[in-house]
Amino acid sequence: MSCWAEVVEPSTRALVDEDSEEEYPASQPAEGLTRFQLKWIEENTSGVDLFIVAHGKLITSFVKSFVCDEKHELVAEIQESLLKDVKEREPESAPLIKSASPVYRLNKGTSYICLCADVDMNNANKFRNAILPLLEKSSHIVIVSAQKASTYLYDRLCSELNIPFVRCLQSSTYQSGNISAPYLEQPNFVTGIPAAILSWCEVFNVPGILYCCFTDTHEVNSISSEPLIKIFSSLSVEVLDPSKVKFKKKSYGPVTTNLYM
């Protein structure tokens, strides 16, 4: 059995000297000034059978390479914007678009996938709230994220694990028949957008599952893609053909060196 809860890491000023506030100029962006907004290109007026959230550089790069191509339709973006200055808190202040997380429709059906941009962990709930129109229409939610293997807590040497490897967490209403990974063991935990969305699934009784890939690289290659192929090919909706996932062999030129024996 796996127990889980959303981890919110509070900020503290305990180690900040009150006389040192000049080191933090008022022009620095603050957490409260970050805004997330769902911008529809083609609004969904029907239900969503499967909503996939791809989180992390490795996952989004894999999706761009093998899941989403020119035949998939861009239907929305979650835009992250900042006010130009801390003093500009008025609504009329012109926002500065920092990043955008695209949402694609898969196979011209009722399945969607969101490629999350690099969002600060403290803004995870704001991001989650921005995609509520999609979450609330979804009958099934799958979150796929990546995390450094060095953060995995194990009662034996990590060298005994075959990296990369996958662990999962699920909401209580998720049907466990399609799980393709072991549960995440205690005392491990997840944070940020994956935790925020899975917590929402649990609170509102929406079937949801989180797959966390522990890896030592953010680059997509034949090794780092192995667990991702298993995850995406095991979904209830066909979004990936494993036979089309191929990697070109690298050709290395002559080795040159300045080392003299």
pLDDT bin (cut points 50, 70, 90) of residue 97 is: confident
- State the Cα–Cα distance between residues 145 and 194, nearest whole angstrom: 7
Average pLDDT, the chain: 80
What percentage of the chain reaches a pLDDT higher than 70?
74
Q: Which residues pair with 213 in a beta bridge?
A: 146, 166
The pLDDT value recorded for residue 107 is 76
Reduced to 3 states, what is the DSSP secondary structure of residue 77? strand
Contacts of 106 (CB under 8 A, 6+ apart): 50, 52, 67, 68, 72, 112, 113, 237, 239
Q: What is the mean pLDDT of residues 217-230?
A: 91
Cα–Cα distance list, 177 to 71, 169, 180, 181, 253 (Å): 30, 14, 9, 11, 48
N- to C-terminal Cα distance for the chain? Answer: 58
Domain ranges of the chain: 44-75+103-237
The pLDDT value recorded for residue 237 is 82
Q: What is the mean pLDDT of residues 77-81?
A: 92
Tell me: the pLDDT tens digits for 29-39? 444 588 999 99
The pLDDT value recorded for residue 90 is 54
The pLDDT value recorded for residue 92 is 53
The pLDDT value recorded for residue 85 is 54
The pLDDT value recorded for residue 91 is 54
- State the Cα–Cα distance between residues 248 and 246, nearest whole angstrom: 7
- State the Cα–Cα distance between residues 97 and 183, nearest whole angstrom: 38
Tell me: the pLDDT tens digits for 102-157? 999 987 778 999 999 788 888 999 999 999 999 999 999 999 999 999 899 887 65
CB 144 within 8 A of CB 54: yes
Give the sign of the dihedral formed by CA 177, CA 179, CA 185, CA 191: negative
The pLDDT value recorded for residue 257 is 43
CATH fold for domain 44-75+103-237: Rossmann fold (3.40.50)
Q: Is residue 128 exposed (0-12), middle (13-18) or buried (19+ Cβ within 10 Å)? A: buried
Reduced to 3 states, what is the DSSP secondary structure of residue 123? helix
How much is the pTM? 0.79
The pLDDT value recorded for residue 251 is 47
